[in-house]
Each structure stands twice: as C-alpha cells, then as structure tokens.
Amino acid sequence: MTDKVRDQDKTHFGYKDVKPDEKEKMVAGVFHSVADSYDVMNDLMSMGVHRLWKRFTIELSAVRKGHQVLDIAGGTGDLTKQFSRLVGDTGRVVLADINESMLRVGRDRLIDQGIVGNVEYVQANAECLPFPENTFDCITIAFGLRNVTDKAEALRSMCRVLKPGGRLLVLEFSKTNNPLLTKVYDTYSFSLLPAMGKLVAGDSESYRYLAESIRKHPDQKTLEAMMKEAGFVNTTYHNMTGGIVALHKGIKP
C-alpha cells in the first residue's frame, strides 16, 4: 500500500490520527458532552469577544428581507437569531447542525426567545447538504469547519446549494504570525482552557480536543485556496484579534 493511500485512510481528531468514519463519531461525542454549557464556555473562553466576531460576520453577510440563509454548525443559534430578524416574514433561515444535542439546545433557546415562524432546524452533514442546488442567498459556518472530516467536500457542497451571486462566510480560529501572541495563546489553549472545561462543563478532554483542532485547521492562505478550488470567486479574509480568528468570504459565480 502506498503512502498516498494510507494518508487517505486517515484523518485527524485533534493530534490523533483516526479513520475518517471514526472522526464523525468522536466529534459528536465532544459536542454531546459540551452542548448544555456551550454558551457559558464561549463567553468565558473568548472573554465575550466572540460576540464581536459574530457581529462582523452579520455585517459582512449583506443579508436582507426575503433572503434564504443557511447557518451551518449553527449550534445554539447566535447567528440564526440575528438572521431571523434581518430576513423578516418573507425570508427563511435554516439552522443546520450535524449534532443532535447542539441542534436541540439551539432550537429550545430560540423558541424560548420567541424566534419562530421563519426558522427551520435540520440535522445535516456539511459534506452532503440535503438541499437543492441554488437555494440560499447566504451560507455561514462559524467555528464549525475545523470539525468537518472532509473540508474540501463540505466547501463544494456549500457552493452547490448557494444561488449564483450568493456568499459563503466562514468564521473560524486561524493562525497568528505574532510570536508573543502565539506563545500566550498556546499557554492559554493547552493549560487554562482544559481547566475551565473541567470546572464549568466537567470535561477537560473535550476542550483539549478543541484546542488541538484549532492547531490542525488550515491557515488563512490555505483555506482561501481551498475555497477557490471549491468554485468560489472574489475570495477575501479578514483577520481579527491578531489572526487568532479569521472571517473568510467567497462568492458563487
């Protein structure tokens, strides 16, 4: 067996090499574990800054009344809530997540906040989205792409279901080129983050995986190239918080 074939038989779960069909189950286990404490941990982990990152994503989406929006890996519904208000009664927002626990928490949270009528909930794998071609005006995936087994296939799937002229926004942890910031960030990620996970969610290993998954995610230039390969044009990215997070944009021609 060649090295190329062996590589195709493996993917990464954090720093571990696993079979592709095993990764989906392992990632599911992580998010089943953290679903109920996800919002609290997001605020603690980012010191609330994740709200500013998401606000910029909403601003760059150009979503307006009547639009069809797909929020992939929508989790507890932060983006879906804002999109629901923007698209109005004539639009539609689909909150999609592969994880049943995250989808349940997001649905319950939005219903409790009175977000009903123009929001749908779909359990779906980003690699094979169950929607017709040319359906959505905008697709977002926030802090979810790094958990996808086949990222290239997921990007192609997103391009397929976007309308021509529609835009994809990928908000994800990325790479900083500042050595001092990198050192501080690494210490925080591998020491403080698992400790917080243990204290708040009773689960340090899931948050250790999340830190490792960030390090294994493609950097800004690599992800931009992957988006172009998937069929997107006019690709750009915006670094935030020193490059710890980047917002990528691509347009379907």
Annotated binding-site residue? 126: yes
Nearest to 61 by CA among 93, 99, 103: 93
How many Cβ atoms are within 10 Å of 96's Cβ, its own excluded?
A: 25
- For the chain, how long is the longest CA-to-CA vector? 56
Annotated binding-site residue? 246: no
Q: Is 75 exposed, middle or buried (0-12, 13-18, 19+ CB in 10 A)?
A: buried
Helix (H) or strand (E) holding 227: helix 220-229
What count of Cα atoms within 13 Å lies in the side-chain half-sphere of residue 72?
30
Annotated binding-site residue? 239: no
Annotated binding-site residue? 177: no
What count of Cα atoms within 13 Å lies in the side-chain half-sphere of residue 158?
35
> 163: which DSSP letter?
E
Calculate the dihedral angle through the C-alpha atoms of 33, 153, 146, 49, rounding to the nearest 10 degrees. -100
Rg (CA), the chain: 18
> 138: which DSSP letter?
E
Question: How far is it, in rounded angstroms, from Cα 195 to Cα 205?
Answer: 9
Write out the binding residues for S-adenosyl-L-methionine: 76, 97, 125-126
Write out the binding residues: 76, 97, 125-126
